[in-house]
Amino acid sequence: MSLFGLMFWAIVIGFFGYVAVVVFPTVNEYLTIQRTVDKVAAESPSTVAEARAAFDRQRVIEYSISSITARDLEITKENDRVVLAFAYDKEIALVGPVYLLIKYEGRSK
């Protein structure tokens, strides 16, 4: 392996490592939102306002949720079950004018 090959692979691995480090917090936030939505739906709130209030209470506890609020939730009923759905975009600056756009969406189980 030459020095050029070694440098090339170091740059490639470094770039993907940087992307992974920058993306990890957004994935963690998405998983936290999904757990929170599942928890609120499992409580079976009787009204939309009650569901939004329960989500806001959990959001205060889970400090990592900053991308959505209770007003961003879409709350419906399916077969006598409350279903909470959400969708949001996360834009991550990589290098200069290059951005990574991740679209997250989910719903309660």
pLDDT at residue 40 in the model: 92
Q: Sign (positive/negative) of CA torsion 12, 18, 21, 24?
A: negative
Mean pLDDT on 50-63: 89
Is the pLDDT at 64 greater than 90, yes or no? no
| pLDDT band, very low/low/confident/very high, at 61 (cuts 50, 70, 90) | confident
pLDDT tens, 6-36? 999 999 999 999 999 999 999 999 999 999 9
CA dist., res. 66 & res. 62, Å (int): 9
Report the percentage of the chain scoring pLDDT > 70: 100
Residue bearing tokens 């959990």:
58
